[in-house]
């Protein structure tokens, strides 16, 4: 016969054995972590008060000192710039001949803004419901209803031929070496 005390799960446990409880391990871990935090704080402070108002005063004094030094350096920098500008004679250091040459190049390069009267030319594709019936062609051609590169190039060439000093296409300034291209 078996003894009821020997079977697992029945009856009281033997007096010398305790059951494993995870709560006890978790409690020990929390106390160990708290001890580590206290030790780290003590070691950082090295026995002194790390939250004194004098450290804040030292920081504000340092900020004021650096601000005054920066202001002094700014004044010195401004004076040196004035000296350099006066020695150069001109703002950018160039001569009058160089400035004249630059102005002529700016005109040809299209970097100089133009002022005066302007003409706006707008080219639009045909409306969606239009049909292209050209005399001599048996069928309407849908290709005739849209603006192509050669159409835009013809208008640009006509404007240059008419004496235009500057031309913009889609907000891009054209110069003598610009090309009008169809990109889709």
User: Any idea which residue has 């703002």 for tokens?
Assistant: 91
User: Any idea which residue has 């009856």 for tokens?
Assistant: 11
In this predicted model, what pLDDT tens digit does every residue of 137-146 receive, in sequence order? Answer: 767 677 778 8
Residue 30 predicted with pLDDT over 90: yes
134: its two tokens = 């050209």
Would you kindly state where each structural domain of the chain is located, as residue ranges?
52-92, 114-184
Confidence of residue 181 (pLDDT cuts 50, 70, 90): confident
Where does residue 89 fall: left (phi above 0), alpha (psi -120 to 50 degrees), or beta otherwise? left
The CA-CA-CA angle for residues 120, 158, 134, to 5°, reads: 90
What does the pLDDT read at residue 57? Answer: 65
Mean pLDDT of the chain: 79
What does the pLDDT read at residue 88? Answer: 61
In this predicted model, what pLDDT tens digit does every residue of 81-139 receive, in sequence order? Answer: 887 776 665 556 667 788 788 877 877 777 778 888 889 999 988 887 877 677 777 67
In this predicted model, what pLDDT tens digit does every residue of 57-80 receive, in sequence order? Answer: 677 788 889 999 999 999 999 888
Residue 165 predicted with pLDDT over 80: yes
Segment 164-169 shows an average pLDDT of 86
Residue 150 · residue 137 · CB < 8 Å? no
Provide the pairing of β-strand 172-174 with 167-169: antiparallel
Q: Is the entire prediction scored with pTM above 0.75?
A: no
Residue 169 · residue 151 · CB < 8 Å? no
């Amino acid at each position: 016969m078996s003894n009821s005390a020997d079977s697992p799960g029945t009856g009281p446990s033997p007096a010398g054995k305790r059951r494993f409880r995870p709560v006890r391990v978790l409690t020990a871990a929390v106390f160990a972590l708290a001890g580590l935090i206290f030790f780290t704080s003590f070691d950082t402070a090295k026995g002194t008060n790390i939250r004194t108002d004098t450290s804040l005063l030292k920081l504000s004094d340092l900020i004021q000192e650096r601000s005054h030094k920066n202001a002094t350096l700014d004044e010195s920098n401004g004076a040196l710039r004035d000296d350099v500008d006066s020695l150069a004679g001109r703002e950018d250091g160039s001569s009058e001949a160089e400035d004249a040459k630059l102005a002529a190049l700016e005109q040809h390069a299209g970097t100089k803004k133009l002022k005066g009267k302007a003409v706006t030319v707008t080219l639009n594709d045909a409306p969606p419901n239009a049909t292209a019936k050209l005399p001599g062609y048996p069928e309407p051609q849908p290709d005739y209803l849209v603006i192509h590169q050669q159409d835009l190039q013809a208008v640009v060439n006509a404007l240059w031929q008419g004496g235009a000093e500057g031309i913009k296409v889609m907000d891009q300034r054209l110069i003598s070496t610009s090309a009008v291209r169809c990109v889709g």
